[in-house]
Amino acid sequence: MSVKLPTNHKHLAVICGLKGDVNGLLTLSELSYKADGNQYREWPLRQKGCGKVRYIQSPRPRLCYVQTRLYMELLSRLEVAEAAFGGVIGHDNIQNASIHTGNRFVFNTDIQNFYPTLNSSMVYRALLNVGFIPRIASIITKLTTYKGSVPTGAPTSSAIANIVMSEFDEIVSAHASKRDLQYTRFVDDIVLSGQYDFRHSGSVAFILESIRSFGLKYHNRKTCFLDLERNGSVLITGIDVSLECIQPSRAIRRLVKSGEYSTGLLGYIERIKQVDDDLWKR
């Protein structure tokens, strides 16, 4: 999707819904990325299963409004790698999982502390690579980072992450394509799959080394390589993927069987069925 990039402060202020108020834009950008700027509410969230705590940074109403406008009017319209499915309009976790249906061998890993690891320098450089001029890239960086990194809980974070990860996605996608493998990334979840056992072909090592070279870390306990003829299925971004089809996770199927489900959940299941039907009509 092509979009005209702003080249001056007033244009960016209009995009952000500030009616051309340049001083308001500059003031908010200076406050938003500072720890003492009082533009975020921050609280701990204990993760299910492991008991670890991660911190959520939620922007206060005025900043949230500006970030939402910035996302809808600009960031969401920028081109990102085809392999990126999280935070991309028209893409979702179901489509992400469906890419790997029918492939016998699946490698899955997860980037550790994803948003907090994406620092403001990474964001600024990525925005320059997209084509933003330095002064505009600087303001957008300040509006979309907090305490020097991408906040967990801002409406702009997934789009900014995709921009930062574009180079990584293109490099890994090119590697995968040359080897008849399928690669996708859904936010911090990375999947590589294929018809043949590529475990010792160098592709797994290539991905892990690429993660490290980009200044990121992967979760050892969330890194695995599966043979679906032996394992039956694998959970990819909340979807159960097998050699034959995609279907809701076992947890969701148990809810349906027990009768403890909502209308929204039924709609989600229908969406999975639709994507699965479309997959086999290709």
Q: How many helical (H) and strand (E) elements, i.e. helices and strands, does the chain have? A: 13, 9
Contact 38, 60 (CB under 8 A): yes
- pLDDT-derived band of residue 52, with 50, 70 and 90 as boundaries? confident
Distance CA 133, CA 115 (A): 24
pLDDT at 281: 47
pLDDT at 254: 81
DSSP string, 16-51: TTSTT-HHHHHHHHHHHTSTTS--EEEEEEEPTTT-
Average pLDDT, the chain: 92
What pTM does this model have? 0.89
- Asked if pLDDT for residue 73 goes beyond 60, the answer is yes
- pLDDT-derived band of residue 48, with 50, 70 and 90 as boundaries? low
- Asked if pLDDT for residue 55 goes beyond 90, the answer is no
pLDDT at 192: 98
- Residue of higher predicted confidence among 50 and 168: 168
pLDDT tens for each residue of 224-265? 999 999 999 999 999 999 998 898 888 888 877 777 667 677
SS3 282: coil
**Which helix (H) or strand (E) element contains residue 135?**
helix 134-144
- pLDDT-derived band of residue 2, with 50, 70 and 90 as boundaries? low
State the average pLDDT over residues 198-211. 96
pLDDT at 253: 80
Distance CA 258, CA 244 (A): 25
pLDDT at 45: 84
pLDDT at 256: 73
pLDDT at 282: 46
pLDDT tens for each residue of 31-47? 998 888 799 998 888 76
Contact 149, 108 (CB under 8 A): no
pLDDT at 266: 75
Distance CA 5, CA 223 (A): 38
State the average pLDDT over residues 131-160. 97
pLDDT at 53: 80
